[in-house]
């Protein structure tokens, strides 16, 4: 049990809580959220008032426990944390927050009358970013919160940039679908899962027929529109758990978990028909495109990896192209020969 300290005023008496008119903030951007954790009601109110005057959105809690319960609700950026509090003191609060990776970005400023070197080191080692000894001046509080704000905003920018980089690395810019790299990673996981749990899984690889002619006849930008619309059409026909990607050029791949060959063939036929029904216009011209699909299935007993599955679907696609395009072919292994062959699903 931590001995309760006599409540120390947050500001020295000679200075008072309001030594100067706080400069009004410039609310160009969303204000940060500051949680004031302080058990002494007068101190809590006074600090909360001053921080609000600085332009921050302020929340208050009377104990560490109350503050913990508030974290998910108000998602604060900065916490002004008293140490000596009933139920859960500031140090314990820091330990709990420090153990949660989701809360690592919280900028905790300990505000305490406990000001020995050991206290300060303990607080900082437990994850606090700063330590302010009571009584502190309003100017110093403002400066310390300002430092916190710079760090928090910098972290936010970094996080946004990181998320953008992840998106760029995984998304096909033209169609907004997954790119090949993302598809291969996720699809490989699905293959392993299907194998482990003895589930069926199918792979479709589709390629637009004579797409070069579209570019040649109507220009590359119109070709881009075709790729985007074909991508959207394929996406609209997929279920939430299906993985769809533009693998490059005019080639698309769709992984269908929990799907056996016959179902996958029907899906490919539906996709063929849906793409064939799209009408594109260019000046006074209107035109259509068709697609060919190769389909393969991961049988539950097989130990196939994605590259092998992709290779099978590609071979079936090649056969579909060879047989005249605008069609679906399934991959078939010849038991008597090492050379696989592909059969028309329509046969
Ligand atoms: P096939 O029926 O045999 O598939 O004939 P194809 O003309 O469609 O030949 P292929 O699939 O090999 O050609 C794909 C073409 O796609 C080649 C390239 O000019 C074009 N292409 C690749 N990436 C893009 C792109 O981002 N935008 C546009 N407009 N065209 C692209
Ligand atoms: Mg093509």
Residue with tokens 């959105």: 57
Computed from CA positions of residues 230, 234, 240, 244, in that sequence, does the dihedral angle turn out positive or negative? Answer: negative
Q: In the prediction, which pLDDT does 2 show?
A: 41
Please say whether the beta carbons of 38 and 80 come within 8 A: yes
Domains plus CATH for the chain? 33-168 (3.40.50.2300), 180-346 (3.30.70.270)
Residue with tokens 């153990």: 99
Please say whether the beta carbons of 278 and 291 come within 8 A: no
Give me 146's structure tokens.
């300002």
pLDDT tens digits, residue range 280-337? 998 998 999 999 999 999 875 566 789 999 999 999 999 999 999 999 999 998 665 5
Please say whether the beta carbons of 231 and 177 come within 8 A: yes
Q: Which residue, by CA, sits nearest to atom 27 of ligand 1?
A: 224
pLDDT tens digits, residue range 94-133? 999 999 998 989 999 999 998 899 999 999 999 999 999 9
Measured in Å, residue 168 CA sits from the centre of ligand 2 at 25
Sheet strand arrangement including 341-344? 243-248, 251-257, 201-208, 291-298, 328-332, 341-344
Residue with tokens 């001046």: 137
Under DSSP, the state recorded for 105 is T
Residue with tokens 């995984």: 170
Residues with CB under 6 A from ligand 1: 174, 207-212, 215, 220, 223-224, 227, 249-250, 321, 325
Is 314 annotated in the active site? no
pTM for this prediction:
0.72
User: What whole-number distance in Å separates Cα of residue 31 and Cα of residue 145?
Assistant: 12
Which residues place a Cβ less than 5 A from the ion ligand 2? Answer: 207-208, 211, 250
Q: What is the dihedral of CA 221, 227, 230, 231, to 10 degrees?
A: -130
Active-site choice (89, 182, 209, 250): 250
Percent of the chain with pLDDT over 90: 79
Q: Which residue, by CA, sits nearest to atom 29 of ligand 1?
A: 223
Q: In the prediction, which pLDDT does 299 show?
A: 74
Q: Which residues of the chain have pLDDT under 50?
A: 1-4, 16, 345-347
User: What whole-number distance in Å separates Cα of residue 306 and Cα of residue 184?
Assistant: 7
Cβ neighbours for 230, distance < 8 A, ≥ 6 positions apart: 208, 250, 252, 275, 278, 289, 291
Measured in Å, residue 233 CA sits from the centre of ligand 2 at 17
Question: Nearest 5°: phi and psi at 78?
Answer: -130, 140
Strands 291-298, 285-287: pairing kind: unpaired
Omega of the bond leading into 187 within 30 degrees of 0 (cis): no
Q: In the prediction, which pLDDT does 187 show?
A: 95
User: What whole-number distance in Å separates Cα of residue 148 and Cα of residue 272?
Assistant: 56
Please say whether the beta carbons of 112 and 67 come within 8 A: no
Q: In the prediction, which pLDDT does 343 show?
A: 54
Please name which ligand lies nearest the alpha carbon of 248.
1
Cβ neighbours for 345, distance < 8 A, ≥ 6 positions apart: 265, 268, 269, 295, 327, 328, 329, 330
Show the DSSP H helices in the chain as ranges.
Answer: 41-53, 64-74, 90-98, 117-125, 138-170, 180-196, 211-218, 220-236, 261-276, 306-322
Q: How many CB atoms lie within 10 A of CB 48?
A: 19
Element (H, E) at 339: none
Show the DSSP H helices in 10-55 as ranges.
Answer: 41-53
Please say whether the beta carbons of 201 and 255 come within 8 A: yes
* Residue from 176, 205, 212 whose mutation best tests the ligand 1 pocket (most atoms within 8 A of CB): 212
Measured in Å, residue 37 CA sits from the centre of ligand 1 at 62
Measured in Å, residue 212 CA sits from the centre of ligand 1 at 5
User: What whole-number distance in Å separates Cα of residue 48 and Cα of residue 318?
Assistant: 70
């Amino acid at each position: 049990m931590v001995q309760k300290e006599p409540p120390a005023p947050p500001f020295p008496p000679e200075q008072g809580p309001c030594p100067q008119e706080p400069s009004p903030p410039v609310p160009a951007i969303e204000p940060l959220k500051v949680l004031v954790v302080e058990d002494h009601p007068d101190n809590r109110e006074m600090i909360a008032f001053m921080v609000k005057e600085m332009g921050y959105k302020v929340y208050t809690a009377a104990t560490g426990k109350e503050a913990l319960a508030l974290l998910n609700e108000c998602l604060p950026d900065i916490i002004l944390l008293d140490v000596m509090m009933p139920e859960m003191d500031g140090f314990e609060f820091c330990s709990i927050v420090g153990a949660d990776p989701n809360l690592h970005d919280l900028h905790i400023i300990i505000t305490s009358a406990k000001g020995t070197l050991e206290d300060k080191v303990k607080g900082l080692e437990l994850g606090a970013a700063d330590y302010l000894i009571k009584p502190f001046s309003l100017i110093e509080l403002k400066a310390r919160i300002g430092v916190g704000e710079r760090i928090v905003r910098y972290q936010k920018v970094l996080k946004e940039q990181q998320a953008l980089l992840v998106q760029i690395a995984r998304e096909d810019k033209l169609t907004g679908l997954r790119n090949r790299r993302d598809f291969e990673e996720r699809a490989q996981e699905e293959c392993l899962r299907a194998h482990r749990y003895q589930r069926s899984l199918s792979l479709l690889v589709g390629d637009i027929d004579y797409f070069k002619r579209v570019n040649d006849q109507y220009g590359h930008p119109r070709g881009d529109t075709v790729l985007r619309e074909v991508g959207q059409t394929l996406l609209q026909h997929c279920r939430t758990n299906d993985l769809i990607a533009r693998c490059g050029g005019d080639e698309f791949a769709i992984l269908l978990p929990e799907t056996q060959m016959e179902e996958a063939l029907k899906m490919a036929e539906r996709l063929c028909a849906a793409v064939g029904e799209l009408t594109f216009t260019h000046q006074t011209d209107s035109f259509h495109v068709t697609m060919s699909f190769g389909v393969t299935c991961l049988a539950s007993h097989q130990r196939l990896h994605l590259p092998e599955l992709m290779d099978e679907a590609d071979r079936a696609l090649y056969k579909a192209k060879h047989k005249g395009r605008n069609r679906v072919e399934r991959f078939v292994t010849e038991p008597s020969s090492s050379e696989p062959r592909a059969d028309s699903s329509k046969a």
